[in-house]
Amino acid sequence: MPDPISSTRTPASVIELLVRNHPGTMSHITGLFSRRAFNLEAIVCVPVDGGATSRILLLVPDEPRLEQVGCQLEKLHDVLELRLRPDLGPSFFAGIAGLMAPEPVSEAP
Amino acid sequence: MKTTGAILLRTLLERQGIRTIPGIPGGAILPFYDALHGSAIRHVLARHEQGAGFIAQGMARATGRAAVCLATSGPGATNLLTAIADARLDSVPLVAITGQVSQALIGTDAFQEVDTYGLTLPITKHNFLVRSASELLETVPLAFQMAESGRPGPVVIDVPKDIQNEEIDVGPLPEPGRAMTADACPDGEIEALARMLASAQRPVLYIGGGVISSGAAGLACSLAHRLSAPTVCTLMALGAMPPSDPLFMGMLGMHAALGTNLLLEEADLLFAIGSRFDDRATGRVADFCPRATVAHIDIDRAEIGKIRRPFLGLVGDAAPILRRLLSRLPAQDRPGWRARAAELRSAHPLRHPPRPEEPLHPLNICRFLGETLPSDAIMTTDVGQHQMWVAQAYPVRRPRGLLTSGGLGTMGFGLPAAIGASLAMPGRRIACVTGDGSILMNIQELATLAELDLPVAVLVFNNAQLGLVRQQQELFYSRRYEASQFGSAPDFAALARAFGIRGERLDADGDPLAELAEILASPGPCVVDIPIREGANVLPMVPPGSANRNMILETEPASSHA
């Protein structure tokens, strides 16, 4: 079965965000993507620093507007840091996708 | 000190210097209204929450300082949304405070519950749902700081009712939130910009609302003269340069004078200051200033290169950047370029019948208002043909002299914004030029105006149509006039009197402009119904999506009822 992420046609970049961890932060980030018609291929979020902040990895297509995406993300009050993670390719997300959709091990109840 | 969330909120607003709050009460905000009782803060009771939002906007736009509006949960909050979105697109500092159902009821579809946080997320700079009374100590100053810092904008604070009632012990109160100073640009960037400007042959300044926000209008004018650079303004920047200035080329874009758009075709350097390359200004972007390299100053880094990649982009506050630029920029005389600008301006004047022939031609009325209103008058407009006629022909003589809904283009803005401007600037004459379509969208605020008895003159350019819609249908939809003609219209003068306000209707026969001057000379509020020709168009006009050089200059006289 072709992997949905690694088979995306456009090359992709990974943006890492450090954000304040409170209700609403994720809405601000995903809302920005839908409002500005940016594409968001994948998102991973984990709490760090005992839960005060979270780290988010965003898989976004490499397009000319990537810089604008970054600028708009940096303007969000709850986004504390933004950096690109060229070391994490789409294969990183493909690995996660593998974890989330393992081969069926048993019949559904 | 023992207090409640509501009293704490009031105290924090008082410490912010808030003296007037427009709003409408309702169940979920009643504890805060109770705290306002006996406060030094004056509450102005609007007749619709959208009116309250635009009254606050009028205060903020007239002063540059954050203003507050107030509404209850549910419909109170949803009625504020348009005013909040409008503030976002025009970068207006606004703090909207909404009541919310008690936390225990959130998520239960309680009476007048709506997800205000979710609804305001995409239309604010930031928004807060307060989760404890002590959070107000941080949230309120931060909301003002955010509304006023950098690129200004709206902030929403949603306060559940139980938090307004919560009793807490508070220690020392926080300092009020204030605009933070933007980071300074490196010297190297200023020097590069100075070199770039000095080497240009045909520079044009393209200034936007950011110049007004920054208080940099005088500096921008000095720069224009230092460089001999003709200057174009966006709608939001009108008033930044005196209209009598020989370098002033008026508004650019869709409804510019043709000479202004042609000048931009010839420019070899476009210096954008606090402007955002809006589609109404640029026309087809690929054809905008095709010969020019671009230098761009903006306080919002995301604006640099958003639409047009600049050769040089400086992020920062326009005023200090221009001051530093002026300190190292020698005077440059470009007599040929100045002459070319003057030539283009005089070759392409606005076309309209002379005043004696048609005194109530919209452009003649706008010019007449420029001669008649005091020089410190504040003009507000609604949205439509009348707005563009004002932009073309009314001489805005000072920054914040024209308050208009530019980005969102909200019909219904003008009257409440005029009330707000008058509250913020007591003693000034306020004129609201509106249309017979727009005025009906917040007509209820005439009751607020009557109650406050402010010197607001509402001038209704009445063509019995949604004129700009009709114009587009005439030009781009083969004159199929669908839903742009009103089948019945109120008697606006009688309507004003019903609200307890002086109401007049000008008669095109006789001397209507003298009558208008007489009405404007008397104090207090008034509504003047001004009949204008039904087929009048805003010209010239760039068809949407077209290059700015392709302007429609004339249209055939249209039959008024197709």
Tens digit of pLDDT for each residue in B456-469? 999 999 999 999 99
Q: Which residues of B touch A (CB under 8 A)?
A: 117-118, 121-122, 125-127, 129, 146, 300-302, 305-306
User: Binning pLDDT at 50, 70 and 90, where does residue B557 land?
Assistant: low
Residues from chain A contacting residue B305 (CB–CB below 8 Å):
67-68
Neighbour order of strands in the sheet with B94-100: B42-45, B20-23, B67-71, B94-100, B154-160, B126-129
Residues from chain A contacting residue B117 (CB–CB below 8 Å):
24, 27
B97–chain A nearest CA distance, Å:
18
User: Does A24 contact B121 at a Cβ distance shorter than 8 Å?
Assistant: yes
pLDDT for B559: 47
Interface test with B, best of A21, A68, A78 (most B CBs within 10 A): A68
Amino acid at site B428: R
State the average pLDDT for chain A: 85
pLDDT for A2: 46
Burial of B309 (0-12, 13-18, 19+ CB in 10 A): exposed
pLDDT for A71: 95
Task: Give me B507's structure tokens.
Answer: 């008669």
A31 at interface of B, judged by CB pairs closer than 8 A: yes
Pairs of residues, one from chain A and one from chain B, whose beta carbons lie less than 8 Å apart: 29
User: Binning pLDDT at 50, 70 and 90, where does residue A100 land?
Assistant: confident
H/E stretch holding B386: helix B385-393
Q: Give the residue from chain B lying closest to A73, CA to CA.
A: B302
pLDDT for B306: 95
B406-419: pLDDT as tens digits: 999 999 999 999 99
pLDDT at B28 over 50: yes
The least confident of A8-12, B170-174, B348-352, B394-398 is: A8-12
B483–chain A nearest CA distance, Å:
30
pLDDT at B366 over 50: yes
The least confident of A65-69, B62-66, B218-222, B263-267 is: A65-69
Q: Which of B223, B249, B225, B222 is nearest to B237 (CA)?
A: B249
The interface residues of chain A toward chain B in range 89-108, judged by CB-CB distance below 8 A, are: none
Distance CA B277, CA B256 (A): 15
What is the ipTM for the molecules in this complex?
0.86
Nearest to B118 among A27, A68, A71 (CB): A27
Residues from chain B contacting residue A24 (CB–CB below 8 Å):
117, 121, 127, 129
A39 at interface of B, judged by CB pairs closer than 8 A: no
Average pLDDT of B360-372? 98
Distance CA B84, CA B70 (A): 12
Provide the percentage of residues in chain B whose pLDDT is more than 70.
99
pLDDT for A107: 56
pLDDT for B49: 98
- Cis amide bond preceding B75, omega within 30: no
Residues from chain B contacting residue A71 (CB–CB below 8 Å):
301-302, 306
Distance CA B47, CA B64 (A): 25
Distance CA A36, CA B451 (A): 42
Interface test with B, best of A22, A25, A26, A28 (most B CBs within 10 A): A28
Distance CA B190, CA B196 (A): 10
pTM of the model: 0.95
Nearest to B126 among A23, A35, A77 (CB): A77
pLDDT at B218 over 80: yes
A64 at interface of B, judged by CB pairs closer than 8 A: no
User: Does A67 contact B122 at a Cβ distance shorter than 8 Å?
Assistant: no
pLDDT for A94: 86
pLDDT for B561: 41
H/E stretch holding B344: helix B335-347
Q: Give the residue from chain A lying closest to B123, CA to CA.
A: A35
Average pLDDT of B131-135? 97
Average pLDDT of B201-215? 98
pLDDT for A64: 85
Q: Give the residue from chain B lying closest to A33, CA to CA.
A: B122
Neighbour order of strands in the sheet with B231-233: B248-251, B231-233, B203-207, B269-273, B293-298, B312-315
Provide the percentage of residues in chain A whose pLDDT is more than 90.
52
A72 at interface of B, judged by CB pairs closer than 8 A: yes
User: Does B117 contact A24 at a Cβ distance shorter than 8 Å?
Assistant: yes
User: Binning pLDDT at 50, 70 and 90, where does residue A11 land?
Assistant: confident
B272-299: pLDDT as tens digits: 999 999 999 999 999 999 999 999 999 9
User: Binning pLDDT at 50, 70 and 90, where does residue B235 land?
Assistant: very high
User: Does B121 contact A31 at a Cβ distance shorter than 8 Å?
Assistant: yes
Interface test with A, best of B155, B306, B307, B308 (most A CBs within 10 A): B306
pLDDT at A1 over 60: no
pLDDT at A10 over 80: no
pLDDT at B97 over 70: yes
pLDDT for A23: 85
Nearest to B301 among A27, A71, A77 (CB): A71
Q: Higher model confidence: residue B338 or residue A109?
A: B338
B35-54: pLDDT as tens digits: 999 899 999 999 999 999 99
User: Does B122 contact A35 at a Cβ distance shorter than 8 Å?
Assistant: yes
Residues from chain A contacting residue B129 (CB–CB below 8 Å):
23-24
φ, ψ (nearest 5 deg) of residue B141: -60, -35
pLDDT at B56 over 50: yes
H/E stretch holding B116: helix B116-120
User: Does A68 contact B305 at a Cβ distance shorter than 8 Å?
Assistant: yes
pLDDT for A102: 67
User: Binning pLDDT at 50, 70 and 90, where does residue B470 land?
Assistant: very high
pLDDT for B562: 36
pLDDT for A63: 85
CB B213 within 8 A of CB B91: yes
User: Binning pLDDT at 50, 70 and 90, where does residue B154 land?
Assistant: very high
Number of other CB atoms surrounding residue B77 within 10 Å:
29
Coil, strand, or helix at residue B382? Answer: coil
B511-553: pLDDT as tens digits: 999 999 999 999 999 999 999 999 999 999 999 999 999 999 9
Nearest to B121 among A28, A67, A72 (CB): A28
Provide the percentage of residues in chain B whose pLDDT is more than 90.
98
pLDDT for A89: 76
pLDDT at A5 over 70: no
pLDDT for A105: 59
State the average pLDDT for chain B: 97
A35 at interface of B, judged by CB pairs closer than 8 A: yes
